Amino acid sequence: MTNHTPRVQLLLTGNEIMSGDTVDSNSALIAKRLDELAISVYRKVTVGDDPALLKSELASMAQAADVVIINGGLGPTVDDLTAEILAAVAGVELAEHPEALAHLESWCAGRNLPLNAANRKQALLPAGCHVIDNPIGSAVGFEMTVSDCRIICTPGVPGELRAMLDWIISDLARGLQRPVERDILRLQTFGLGESSAQQLISDQIPDWPQEVELGFRAGAPQMEIKLSIDRNEDQPARAHCLAQLEALFGDHIIGQGDTLLAGRVLSLLRERKATLATAESCTGGLIASMLTQIPGSSDAFHAGFVTYANDIKRDVLGVSQADLDTHGAVSEEVVRAMALGAMDRARANYAVAVSGIAGPGGGSDDKPVGTVWLAWGEREHLRTRCLCWPVERSLFQTMIAAAALDMIRRMLLGIDEEPRYFRQRRAR
């Protein structure tokens, strides 16, 4: 291999991937590991266990790429075709490979299994190939160079592939005569859409440096912004980009890496030795569930109340029947009383309360589906707001639960600025 960045293609094989019975996560795994070498996968082709099609795909890839990684088809069954296909494309025979046979024998011996014919097939590899150790499974990997293209054959079982990738990545790094090379910074945000974030960045940061690659991954409720740069590129450029993003929408940035909203809220509470209680109607326990998914959440979260029915809001949280009758369950008065009741019963410093109409039923002209009142804060400093977020029920619950946590996060950080999504979704 030369020391330019190699052009890499992936060839995935397996009827179970084509049929959709298996979702392919292997190519994502391979791509993420290659990213450490600043190598991108250029093209990926997936086909079933069809020998003619596999041969023609591999032959054309070997012409166009520097490296082809084949995944799948190493197993013991008749539809495992990779060794046969590579031998055909390389113009060599299949031969029993002593190293592969020894591996199979020791693998079977370790499990008190006889070495049967099906297993023994896994030692039949293209003549002249190099074996790659499989520290976990029976099928060894193998590789050989055809028409100046290095073809690396890997197993379809994710754990076996993962184990083999360590060797493959370090071997590719040696071939490139350089160490792992790319720095990636991930920012977790809430309340920004992909298109509005992209638009804001285009409008407000026209001098974005080309060497800092910008990516978005929209999820619900969070969106990830990824900045990546080659390690030998201008590092201050990335710091500059980060500073500009922070100036542009810093209050929407929850944290770096894998930070979750609930995790951020819990650590802010922990720093203050404070606790939070939840009172949920339309989110139905989701806020509590997001908090308690974080290990160690019991430090700062002791109690949550799912008060779905009006009499429960009254009897459990002390909401007055008069407020329920006069203003309805989806009202400022009721969420305020829910928050105070939860704080009281949980002896918590902070509370967040939510009451709204998740749909599809239950809306009215005055309060359509998607209307929701939030209350959050401390006893002496309780804030409320009404939003209208008319989306499908489970997305509504996810986004509103996250917005409730985000309100607490902003209050704990002393951010007074109104979030962008409030400006857009304000109902009254």
Interface with a copy of itself in residues 40-59 (CB under 8 A) = 40-48, 53, 57
Q: How many residues bind a copy of itself (CB under 8 A)?
A: 105
| Positions 288 through 347 that interact with a copy of itself (CB under 8 A) | 288-289, 291-293, 295-298, 301-309, 311-312, 315-316, 345-347
Which string of x and - marks every residue 260-279 that binds a copy of itself (by CB under 8 A)?
A: ------------------x-
- Smallest distance from a copy of itself to CB 14, Å: 10
Does position 422 interact with a copy of itself (CB under 8 A)? The reply is no
Tokens of 408: 């607490």
- Smallest distance from a copy of itself to CB 414, Å: 27
Number of Cβ within a 10 Å radius of residue 209: 15
Does position 257 interact with a copy of itself (CB under 8 A)? The reply is no
Question: Applying CB under 8 A, which part among 86-94, 169-177, 193-201, 405-413 lies near a copy of itself?
Answer: 193-201
- Smallest distance from a copy of itself to CB 176, Å: 19
| Positions 136 through 165 that interact with a copy of itself (CB under 8 A) | 136, 138, 157, 159
List the beta bridge partners of residue 356: 372
- Residue 260 vs 375, nearer CB to a copy of itself: 260
Q: Using DSSP, state whether 385 is helix, strand or coil.
A: strand
- Smallest distance from a copy of itself to CB 20, Å: 3
Does position 371 interact with a copy of itself (CB under 8 A)? The reply is no
- Residue 304 vs 377, nearer CB to a copy of itself: 304
Sequence-distant (6+) residues with CB within 8 A of 312 are: none
d(CA 184, CA 107): 39
Beta carbons of 282 and 334 less than 8 angstroms apart: no
- Residue 117 vs 322, nearer CB to a copy of itself: 117
Q: Using DSSP, state whether 75 is helix, strand or coil.
A: coil
Tokens of 73: 């088809």
Pairing of strands 253-256, 130-132: unpaired
List the beta bridge partners of residue 10: 44, 69
- Smallest distance from a copy of itself to CB 285, Å: 3
Q: Taking Cα atoms as reference points, which of 254, 259, 256, 243 lies closest to residue 192?
A: 254
Tokens of 412: 């704990």
Q: What one-character DSSP code corresponds to residue 336?
A: H
